[in-house]
Structure formats: C-alpha cells, structure tokens
Structure 1
C-alpha cells in the first residue's frame, strides 16, 4: 500500500505517454509550436511498464493513460495490453481529445481498455474550431460514436470559457444526457501556457446556467477521492463539475502522475518532481520504488488554486502531465 505524508492512500497512477498534441486549445497550449520531444528522451513503453508493474504491486488499482494526446503515440494499444495482461482487473482508462479515436477504438477495447474520457467543448463546429484552433468536431463526434459502439464506458469533459463556448453548455449537457454519457464541466485552471485573457466559468455560474432550464437538479453525496462534485436530475441523470479552485477533494487525493520523460509529479499544480528514468532504464526497480515513496512524502496537502483571492497561476504545462 502506498501512503503519502498526510496519511492518504495513493492507488491511482496517471501516465502521460507523450506531450505532443494535435490541438492547440486556448486553455492549454495555444501558442506552442507543433514539435515533439526527441524519442530518445521518452521512456519506452517497456520502461513505463516496468514502473507500472511495480506500482501495481505496491497498491495502484487504477491506471489512466494521458498525454498530450496519447493516440499520437504509435502502438498505444500494445502498451495497454501489456498492463491488462499483467493484471486484468486493473481499472484501465484513457483520456483523449477524440480526433484519432474512430480508427483506434476497437483496438483499444480489444487490448483491455475499460473507460475513456473524451473532450467535447461544444457541438458547434466553428466554436470548437476556435477553441482548438483546428476544424475537429466531426472527427471527435465520430470518435465518440466509435467508442460507444465498441462498448467503452464514456465520460465527456467540457471546459466552458466566457464569451466562447459558455452559450453551448446546455446543448453539450443535453447531448450527453440523451446518449447516456456523464459530462463533467471543468473550471478553467489558470496556467502560464493558456491564451492571455481566457476566463472560465466557476461552479456557481455553471449551475446558474443549467438551473434556468433544469431548476430541480440536486447535489449528491460526494465520492471524496473524486475531483468532481456530481448533481442529479429528477430522472436520475448525473453530471459533474470539477472545481480546482476548491480544495475539499484534496483531503482524499489518491493520485500521482508520471510524465513521458519519467518525472513523478505529486500534484497537478505542484512544481516539484523527481525522475525515475535512470532507475527503470537500468533495471534498478527497487530504487524507482524508493523514489516513488519519496515523492509521495512530498505530496502537498492541498493544491494552490483557491477562491480566497490569493490563487496562483501554475507554470506547469498540462500537456506534459495529462491534466
């Protein structure tokens, strides 16, 4: 069992397999040139698997594959199958922008993937093009459809921005409700890599928009380890809001992150990280475990976003850590 410095059990590993992305979303990396980290700087799938395997042995129960955009890295289904074959009851998930998903969905499902989170910020093609700085909506919708058809459990992620896609919140909600997908609206997380002037909607603003059409939804008891607060309609449909500017979910945070270059990051915001790259590449697995435990001891009690007026802007690039 993995325990951090505040007594929290850590059983969820998020693994970024690439920092490359084929979108340039305004809230993430709008100005970054299309480039890539040299292949020799990345941990191979085999080395990533060495660490995942020992992490599972130490108590990790959930592995989520992220990026950048993870489907840009070739052979992802083979990597997922490596993890599945080692422990087939592991909660194995993927986060993607969906652009390349239509052709990959069946292979991912066959490899052992169970769940998938897909970004969908609007159902208006011009709005999505403005958000992603690329005409992507038709591909994303095809990807969602393909994932559904092969039997992957789907969640939709939506980041509402003021003056851009805030008008589309109800439409996205109703699309997901009709399809039976859970949608989670994510408050924009301030970071130095986002487009200047971008402003997100907070939880109260989101709920006010939704309540104009659906006034009778109710808050449901929270799964304390989840970053999302969920709400339920009268017909039982549930949607979530992720509120990083609150820290109530930090008390039960069960996550740790591994980047494609081998850095272990104890918190999405937190700047400190330690590398396991040399240890796993040279098969010093015990050393990698000790680094993992040291990082867990450095895991902060709370994130640094806040609603008290003293919130900070992170210099962490989310495309490196998978959000």
Structure 2
C-alpha cells in the first residue's frame, strides 16, 4: 500500500507517454513550438511497463495514459495491452484530445482500454479552432463517436475560458446529456505556459450559467475517489465540476504522476519531482519503488491555486504531466 505523509492512500498512477501535442490550446501550451523531446530521452514502453508492474504490485489499481497527446506516440495500443495482460482487472484509462481516435479507437479497445476522457471545449467550429489554434471539431466529434461505437466508456472534459468558450457550456452539457456521456467542467488552472491573460470561470460562474436553463439541479454526495463534485439535474443527468481552487480538491488526492522522461511528480501544481529513469533502465526496480515512496513521503498537503493572489501561478507544464 502506498501512503503519503498525510495518510492519503495512493492507488492511481497517471503515466505521460509524450509531451508532444497536435493542439495548441490556450489553457495549456499556446506558444510552444511544434517540437519534441528526442526519443532517446524518453523511457521506452518496456521501461515504463517495468515501473507500472511494480506499482501495481504496491497497490496501484488505476492506470491512466496521458500526454501531451498520447496517441501521437506510436504503438500505444501495444503498451496498453502489456498492462492489460499483466493485470486484466486494472482500471485502464486514457485521456486524449480525440483528434486521432477515428483511426485508433478500435485498436485501443482491443488492447484492453476500458475508459477514455476526451477534451471537448466547444461545439462551435470557430470557437473550437480558436481554442486549439487548429480546425479540429469535426474530427474530434468523429473520434468521440468512434470511441462510443467500439464500446469505450466516455467522459467529456471541458475547460471554460472567459471570452472564448464560456457561452458554450450549456451546449456542451446538452450534447453530453443527449449522447449519455459524463461531462466535467474543469476550472482553468493558472500556469505560466497558458495564453497571457487567459481567465477561467470558477465553479460558481459555471453553475450560474447552467442554472439559466436548469435552476433546480442539486449537489450529489461527493465520491472521495473523484476530483469532481457532481450535480444532478431534475431528470437525473449528472455533470461534474473539478475545482482546484478549493482545498477539497486535494484532501482525498490519490494520484501520482510519471512523465515520459521518468520523473515522478507528487503534485500537479509544484515543480518537485524525482527521476526513476536510471533505476528502471538498469533493472533496479526495488530502487525505483523506494524513490516512489520517497516522493510520496514529501508530497505537499495541497496545491496553491486556492491562494487568493493573482500572482499565484503554477510553473508546471501540463503537457508534460497530462494534467
């Protein structure tokens, strides 16, 4: 069992397989050149798998593959199958922008993937293009449909940004309601890599927009394993809001993150990290596990997005950690 210094049990490993992305979203990496870390700097799938196996043996029950955009790394379905074949009841999930799903959804499902989170920030083509700095909407919608057709369980993630897609919240909600997808609205997490001047909507502002059409929704008792607070409409449909600006985002945190270059990250907000790269590449797996436990021992109690200070901005690059 993996326990941090505040007694929180960690059973969820998020693994970034690449920092590359084919979008340049305003809340993530709008100014980053289209470049990539040399392949030799990345942990191979085989080395990532060594660590994942050891982590599962230590109590990890959920593995989520992230990026960057993870589908940009070739052979991802083979990597997923490696994990599935080792423990086929593991909660195996993927986060993606959906652009490459039309051609990959079936392979991912066949490899053992169970669930998929897909970013959908707008159903307006011009707004979606403004957000991602690329004409993406038709292909993303095709990818969402393909994932549904092959039987993957779908969650939709939407990050409302003021003056960009804040008018699209209800339309995204209605789309998910009609399709039967879970939708989560995520408060923008201020970071130095986002577009200058980008401002997100907080939970109260998101709820105020939804209440214009659905005034009688109610809060659902919180599932402590989820980062989202869920709400239920009168017809029973539920939507979630992820609120990093509240401390309860952290109180039940069960996540640890591994980057494609082998850094273990204890908290999404902070720069703190330790590398397992040398240990796993040289088959010193016990050492890698000890590094994992040391990282957890030093994990902070909470992030600092809750600090009421406009200068309090994370320097973490989310495209390296998968959010």
TM-score interval, normalised by the smaller of the two chains: over 0.9
3-state DSSP class of the match of 1:122? coil
3-state DSSP class of the match of 2:15? strand
Deviations 1:273-300 (A, max 9, x none): 0000000000000100100000000111
Structure 2: distance between partners of 1:167 and 1:55: 42
Structure 2 residues without counterparts, runs of 5 or longer: none
Cross-structure match for 1:65: 65
Structure 1 residues without counterparts, runs of 5 or longer: none
TM-score, normalization: structure 1? 0.99
| Conserved 8 A contact 2:257-2:265 | yes
Q: Which runs of 4+ in 1 moved over 3 A?
A: 307-311
| Conserved 8 A contact 1:101-1:144 | yes
Cross-structure match for 1:164: 164
Cross-structure match for 1:233: 233
Deviations 1:186-216 (A, max 9, x none): 0100000001011110000000000010011
Deviations 1:63-87 (A, max 9, x none): 0000000000000000000000000
| Conserved 8 A contact 2:69-2:97 | yes
| Conserved 8 A contact 1:224-1:249 | no
Give the RMSD, CA atoms, in angstroms: 0.8
Count of residues in Structure 1 that have an aligned counterpart in Structure 2:
323
Cross-structure match for 1:321: 321
* Equivalent residue runs for 1:1-323 within 5 Å: 1-306=1-306, 308-309=308-309, 312-323=312-323
3-state DSSP class of the match of 2:301? coil
Structure 2: distance between partners of 1:96 and 1:311: 30
Deviations 1:122-174 (A, max 9, x none): 00000000000000001100000000000000000000011111111100000
TM-score, normalization: structure 2? 0.99
Structure 2: distance between partners of 1:137 and 1:64: 24
Deviations 1:29-84 (A, max 9, x none): 00000000000000000000000000000000000000000000000000000000
Structure 1: distance between partners of 2:13 and 2:247: 20
| Conserved 8 A contact 1:305-1:311 | no
